[in-house]
Structure 1
Amino acid sequence: MTDTFEMIELVKGLHFSCSREQSLLKAMELAGKRCIPVGCRGGGCGLCKVQVVSGEFSCGPMSKKHVDEQSRRCGQVLACRVYPLTDLTFEYRPAAELASTQQQVQ
């Protein structure tokens, strides 16, 4: 079993590696990629909200104001608080687009 996984951002087509001890956002920064905006890095501002399309992950604490339980079940999470358990495919879209996507799923 590997401790490093491949992260694929679908909108810009960027690839980078992430260990299970790193958040998705931290791995992106260390790889020198720019596909997710960076805010507080602590799960409180909601700026780094992404849609996980495939893969498994664990989450640290996130503000329920930005990610409620239903959003989390749909794979909408904050990149600063997501830790991969497998390779992940995700996309970043501005918050208004993510909200629209969530409404379509409901």
Structure 2
Amino acid sequence: MYVSGSAKHDVRIVDFDLQFACPANQSLLRGMERVAARAIPVGCRNGGCGVCKIEVLSGSYEKGRMSRACVSAEEEENGVALACKVFPQGDLTVRVLGKMGRKLAPAHTPAAR
């Protein structure tokens, strides 16, 4: 899905003290990769694998088609989506879920010996 317009919107990821600007015509996943490329696992980029699952806590966005195996209709009604299919239409606050959340978490554990 391509959303027209190049207006940039502020995106805040709770729990990780991460904030960045994302254009309306760019998926949230692309914006997140730009800010922390190595920290974000990327799967199919097409809404079918569920690796980039998020919960939108506030803000407006457009979303593309996502696999029901990854996001149920009930989850979608409650703001759960895949970052690869979310295009911000205003400032957003999101929480990272699933595998992606573990990858984004700051490394506070001591190295194994």
Question: Scaled by the length of structure 2, what TM-score is found?
Answer: 0.76
Percent identity between the two aligned chains? 40
Pair 9,33 (structure 1): closer, same or farther in 2 beyond 3 Å = farther
Pair 50,34 (structure 1): closer, same or farther in 2 beyond 3 Å = farther
Q: How many residues align?
A: 95
Which one-letter code corresponds to 1:94 in the other structure?
Answer: G
Aligned 1:34-53 pairs, distance under 5 A: 36-53=40-57
Aligned 1:1-106 pairs, distance under 5 A: 3-32=7-36, 36-94=40-98
Pair 36,10 (structure 1): closer, same or farther in 2 beyond 3 Å = farther
Which one-letter code corresponds to 1:54 in the other structure?
Answer: S
Deviations 1:33-73 (A, max 9, x none): 56643211110000100011000111111101111211111
Cα RMSD of the aligned pairs, angstroms, is 1.9
Deviations 1:17-46 (A, max 9, x none): 101100000011122356643211110000
Judge conservation of contact 2:11–2:21 (CA < 8 Å) in 1. yes
Distance in 2, matches of 1:51 and 1:58, equals: 14
Distance in 1, matches of 2:38 and 2:76, equals: 23
Gaps of 5+ in 1: 98-106
Judge conservation of contact 1:5–1:86 (CA < 8 Å) in 2. yes
Which one-letter code corresponds to 1:92 in the other structure?
Answer: V
Which one-letter code corresponds to 1:48 in the other structure?
Answer: C
The structure 1 segments of at least 4 consecutive aligned residues displaced by more than 6 Å after TM superposition are none
